[in-house]
Structure formats: C-alpha cells, structure tokens
Amino acid sequence: MSDAPFLPERVAIDAYGNGGFRFRDMSHKGSLLCLPGGVYGWPPVQPEDLQLADFDQVLGTPDGVGFVLLGTGDNQVFPTGDIRRAFVEAGIGLEPMATGAAVRTYNVLLQEGRDVACALIAVDHHRSGS
C-alpha cells in the first residue's frame, strides 16, 4: 500500500463493483482504505487473506478513528481473533459486513460527521454507493 493517499480527505463512495470503487470523479481498481487522512489503495483481495499487518495504517492513524467498517466482499466474514484483539486493544470498534453494506453505512455515517473509517474489499458486481 502506498503511504500517499489518492485524496487527502475522506469522501463518500459513489459506486462500487467491477473490482473497484468510484469516488469524487475518480476510480480505483482493487480494495480501498478510507481514513480521516485520505483514501488509499489497500492490498487485500479476499477476506480469508486478511492479516493483522493489513490494518497497520488503521491502527496507527493519528487522526483518531472511533470505528472501522470492514467490507468483506460479497458476504460478511468475521476477521481472525488476532485482528479483533488488536482493535479492542487500540480502543477502535471493528464492524465486519458485506462490502455493499459497508459502503452504504460509511456514506451515511460520513454525512453525519461521525469518526468512521472503512476498509473495503472490492467486489465484482456493480452498485451505486448510495
């Protein structure tokens, strides 16, 4: 993952599917990480492949994230115990759900001004983010 964001701010996700995401007149192929400090490409492809190291940037963010919506692809998949423990120890909530549900929830919470972030595994089908 690059240390430089696509955008230096959080933005709503306009659409997802076809292996990527659209946001603020941009598109990204692959998974996505949206933090208070920006929007980043994110390496995970399948929820079964998630490793604790995939969340280093989330767990180490200085911007104070209250909770993370984890979009796990087409279906809800719960992360491993070590990942869940790391979030508990960091005092950050972790909510796994299908990517579509995570995108919709993220957009609503972002509009409400909540301290939310999301880590989204890309899916192949196409949908609007709203």
As its CATH architecture, domain 15-125 has 3-Layer(aba) Sandwich (3.40)
> Residues 87-107: pLDDT tens digits?
999 999 999 999 999 999 999
| Per-residue pLDDT tens over the stretch 33-43 | 999 888 999 99
Q: Convert 24-92 into a string of H (helix), E (strand) and C (coil).
A: CCEEEECEEEEECCEEEEECCCCHHHCCHHHHHHHHCCCCCCCEEEEECCCCCCCCCHHHHHHHHHHCC
Task: Break the chain into its structural domains and give their ranges.
Answer: 15-125
pTM confidence score? 0.90
